[in-house]
Chains A and B, each alone.
Chain A
Amino acid sequence: MKRLFLALLGGFAVLAWSQTPPAASPPPAPPVVEQFTLPNGMTVIVKPDRRAPTAVHMVWVRVGAMDEVDGTSGVAHALEHMMFKGTPSLKPGEFSRRVAALGGRENAFTTRDYTGYYQQIPSGRLEDVMKLEADRFARNQWADEEFRKEIEVVKEERRMRTEDAPRSLLYEQLNAAVFVASPYHRPVVGWMSDLDAMTPDDVREFHRRWYVPANAAVVVAGDVDVAQVRKLAEKYYGSIPARAVPARKPRLEPVQAGIRRIEFKAPAEQAYVALAFKVPSLASLDTPSADSDDALALTVLAAVLDGYSGARLDRALTQGDARVADSAGAGNGLIGRGPQLFVLDGVPAAGKTPEQVEAALREQVAKLAREGVSEAELNRVKTQWVASEVYKLDSVMNQARELGSNWIQGLPLDADERLIQRLRAVTAEQVRGVASRYFGDDQLTVAVLRPQPVDKNRKPRTPPPGFRH
């Protein structure tokens, strides 16, 4: 979009930077992004970037762990694994062999909100991967035995990422406590007992239900031509029959009315504390709302607290003789298909307690609510965002990822540019306002990790499942 660069240059002008780009070096060619919809409802987004003879091709499906139901948690992610296991015309593993033979790299990812698949390829190989990806999107097929092996791999993944990672376990518990009705209650990878009980048909049914053209977007970025991509998309994705996107139940989170606290013990040396406050999210860039304004101000607040090393939390909690923490952080969710959180967290310094860190974190927010934020701090965090908009142009992969995740959230193609504009417009008074309104006790859940010695006789957290051979 042409506006992207104009906005950036405008950004430079209002910030403390006096210089303008030299006339000798013309600004980069304006990035163009196009989006269209195939007759079957599938969205296609194309962003040409001709710096190198490579391209990235992604399929984003608007289905993630939040679309699962109790008893089959983890099925969105298990399906992501099984998508590599074949189609009527491709044997297990053949998808990856083909992509590798094309010189490509590939992977896939599952979150609460979406599932994505991608290949990075020499741009001349775009048609090959579009053909492969469309095939498995429409016709993923494998024998039960393939699932029985792969679900063991998924369990190993859970053991690696969660079971042996105390802070991951803590966040699993925290989410389960923060969200009661919202599907964000469950972990993306799934509870171990749900993985044990999962059947091949659970996975097939999830694919049949959610992998419909109108629930997915193809994103192509790099050394490509829009007209060529359109033709290929029509040929390979356009032939997938249209089906209705299933209705989604709202499963809204009831209002929290009072502080919740959880304690979690795990073998570790360092304690850890996380404070999760329920906050509004940015619902739309087009429809103004007080909640959206607040969500943006909360993001600026998080950056003022923790947007660069030596920002407020670092300085107040981790420095000086009386420091209480080895590290401290802040982050705001801002955008998502489900309810969002503002999280403060910290690792107590030796001899300090999680309670001291909790109090110090909350004091920093209270101080900001009392005294406000300086223009210098505000400009500093905005400057970094504006600069990062230039740096991100270096990676075609990141640009494609951004386009895909914006589509998932129902945001427009130029969402990032507009988001930066909106963040730049946030005032010191707004930041102070959200600091004073969203950090009481009633919407707060506190999770504390209490470190335990590594116990040689500890029972396994999850009993070993029956051996599968």
Chain B
Amino acid sequence: MTTMKKIALGALCALALATFPSRQALAGIPIQHWTQASGARIFLAESHAIPMLDVQIDFDAGGRRDPADKAGLASVTAGMTPKGVRAAAPLPAGPGPYPAAMDENALSEAWADLGASFGAGAGDDRMSFSLRSLSYPDLLAKAAELAARQLGEPSFPEAIWLRERERLNASIKEANTRPATVAGRAFAAAVYGDHPYGQEMTEATLARIGVADMKAFYASLAPCRATVSLVGAVTRAQADALASTLLSRLPQPAGGCAPLPPVGEVAPLKAASETHIPFESAQAHVFIGQPGFKRDDPDYFALTVGNYILGGGGFVSRLTAEVREKRGLSYSVYSYFAPGLHAGAFTLGLQTRPDQAAQALQVSREVLAKFVAEGPTESELKAAKDNLIGGFALRIDSNRKLLDNVANIAWNRLPLDYLDTWTQQVDKVRVADIKAAFARKLQPDRMATVVVGGKP
């Protein structure tokens, strides 16, 4: 058992929203980008020090495209891709090393035998696949073929889905006994209303999902819609061939990919709301927030730097200083933005002993309101820049971290020199920019508040 002093949650959320890269370290690692004949966009950062390769393939097939009555469809569809593949279709390149139909066990054994892994998952915006393999040519070739089979020819076996659904239902019921789950759900509903970002997978939505729904949903995946990011010990030519292999078993629509239907935007909150849910637990869970901003917002850097000061900078944030350090009210208190294709939530969160919930809520609100009204001080801004700019290299000092950054650039269509200019963008932010950006994005008098398990 390990007990950590500080909390990962706030830090993780902060990182998830801002995948920061480093000019310094990037100087030696340029990002190469090209588009294949299929339309697939390829992004590569070569890194030859270790004989390994990481690949991420992203599609616009995240949870925001779930039908409302089948919330969770993207997620469970991705989760079913390792559960079996059909017999391989005959391709000009031949059947490859894995021609036969494989069940879930045959697949996982094959991956284990390669010492490689291939994962799939869906977030709000993307369905993502990630391959990690050693880069020795024979091994990598096999791993790419196996990944192509899994990506392009999943069988979605019905019996396995029925089993997985039972397991998911059981884990949903279990999670519902936790105050954090109850609070998170109430908060998502209060912030997002009926926008897909707020849709929750439940037993009811799972009951409506069948393998036919998965196959239909999965049909939008095509090479022309793929974004492929690679980091590791391969050359551009190898990466190009590898990407072709990975996508070779996904059907390409005749005539190319039509645009996918647009998804509506998150509506701003019209009024403040406050939800108190009784719960018998050792801690009350508190959330305050509202819709935030989209990833392509011009205020991105001002909001990122500002939130570092407010509640993102771990031990040195204002929220941590006021709620934890000065008053000992909470082990974990944080704020973060979650910008995506739509305005993901601004979230301020904490947990505290039930009888302290009201006090912690009041302190947090005061900190937030003051920050939005007045912005940071010059010295706070300097401290934030010292950390963000000074620590820039830490954001890309492994292949894994670099891949996050390359995929971020690829997915969000950021300039290829995004990493080279990142520290300059941070450095340009002024106190007035943060104050103005927060005033534009956050309305403390119209936020949603959720308290689960608070006691007077």
Contacts and interface: CB of A to CB of B under 8 A. Distances in A.
Interface of A: 12, 16-22, 25, 27-29, 51-54, 77, 80-81, 84, 92-93, 96-97, 100-112, 120-122, 125, 148-157, 159-161, 163-164, 166, 171, 187-189, 222, 267-270, 307-310, 315, 318-319, 323, 326-327, 347, 349-350, 379-381, 383-384, 386-388, 390-391, 393-396, 454-458, 460-462, 464, 467-468
A326 B51 contact: no
A390 B386 contact: no
B115 A149 contact: no
A308 B173 contact: no
B383 A100 contact: yes
Given A97-B316, A108-B4, 9 more contacts: A51-B47, A105-B394, A121-B391, A122-B393, A122-B394, A319-B105, A349-B166, A349-B170, A350-B166
B57 to A, nearest CB: 19
B276 interface: no
Interface in B325-383: 325-332, 351-353, 355, 383
A19 B135 CA distance: 11
A315 B4 CA distance: 34
Contact of A28 (B3, B51, B137, B355): B51
B3 A100 contact: no
B387 A100 contact: yes
Interface stretch (B31-39, B121-129, B265-273, B395-403): B395-403
Interface of B: 1-6, 24-25, 47-52, 82, 104-105, 107-109, 111-116, 132, 134-139, 163, 166-167, 169-171, 173-174, 176-180, 233, 278-283, 313-316, 321, 324-332, 351-353, 355, 383, 386-394, 396-400
Contacts of B400: 394-395
Most B CB contacts (10 A, CB to CB) among A27, A164, A457 go to A164
A52 B393 contact: yes
Nearest to B402: A52
Contacts of B283: 156, 159-160, 163-164
B316 to A, nearest CB: 5
B354 to A, nearest CB: 8
Given A28-B50, A101-B383, A456 B396 contact: no
A97 B327 CA distance: 18
B6 A107 contact: yes
Contacts of B82: 309
A159 B453 CA distance: 13
B1 A156 contact: no
A395 B398 contact: yes
A315 B105 contact: yes
A307 B3 CA distance: 25
B1 A188 contact: yes
A462 B396 contact: no
Contacts of A148: 328
A160 B51 contact: no
Nearest to A382: B115
B82 to A, nearest CB: 8
A387 B52 CA distance: 9
Contacts of A395: 398, 400
Given A81-B5, A149-B326, A394-B399, A157 B170 contact: no
B400 to A, nearest CB: 6
Contact of A308 (B50, B112, B313, B321): B112
A51 B402 CA distance: 12
Which A-B residue pairs are the 9 nearest by beta carbons? Answer: A103-B390, A387-B115, A103-B391, A152-B328, A52-B397, A163-B282, A19-B138, A310-B108, A149-B328
A243 to B, nearest CB: 25
Contacts of B233: 25
A51 B397 contact: yes
18 contacts: A22-B136, A25-B51, A84-B315, A104-B394, A106-B315, A109-B4, A125-B390, A150-B328, A152-B329, A156-B351, A159-B283, A189-B3, A267-B280, A309-B82, A383-B114, A456-B278, A456-B280, A464-B353
Nearest to A157: B331
Given A16-B113, A159-B353, A102 B390 contact: yes
Given A100-B383, A461-B282, A156 B352 contact: yes
B24 A53 contact: yes
A11 to B, nearest CB: 10
B170 to A, nearest CB: 5
Contacts of A460: 280, 282
Nearest to A172: B1
B108 A308 contact: yes
Contacts of B114: 383
A148 B325 CA distance: 11
B105 A393 contact: no
Contacts of B352: 156
B177 A268 contact: yes
Contacts of B399: 394
Nearest to B172: A269
Nearest to A49: B49
Contacts of A455: 280
A462 B325 CA distance: 24
A51 B328 contact: no
B253 to A, nearest CB: 33
B315 to A, nearest CB: 4
B48 A323 contact: no
A370 to B, nearest CB: 21
Given A53-B24, A159-B283, A350 B170 contact: yes
A442 B300 CA distance: 62
Contacts of A161: 3
A448 B282 CA distance: 22
Contacts of A157: 3, 331
A102 B388 CA distance: 9
Contacts of A391: 52, 132
A390 B108 contact: no
Contacts of B388: 103
A111 B3 contact: yes
A441 B423 CA distance: 61
A93 to B, nearest CB: 6
B177 A267 contact: yes
Nearest to A453: B177
Given A84-B315, A394-B400, A103 B282 contact: no
Given A93-B325, A189-B3, A310-B104, A100 B315 contact: yes
A77 B3 contact: yes
Given A103-B386, A464-B355, A384 B282 contact: no
Contact of A269 (B170, B314, B327, B394): B170
A368 B329 CA distance: 51
Nearest to A53: B393
B48 A25 contact: yes
B60 to A, nearest CB: 28
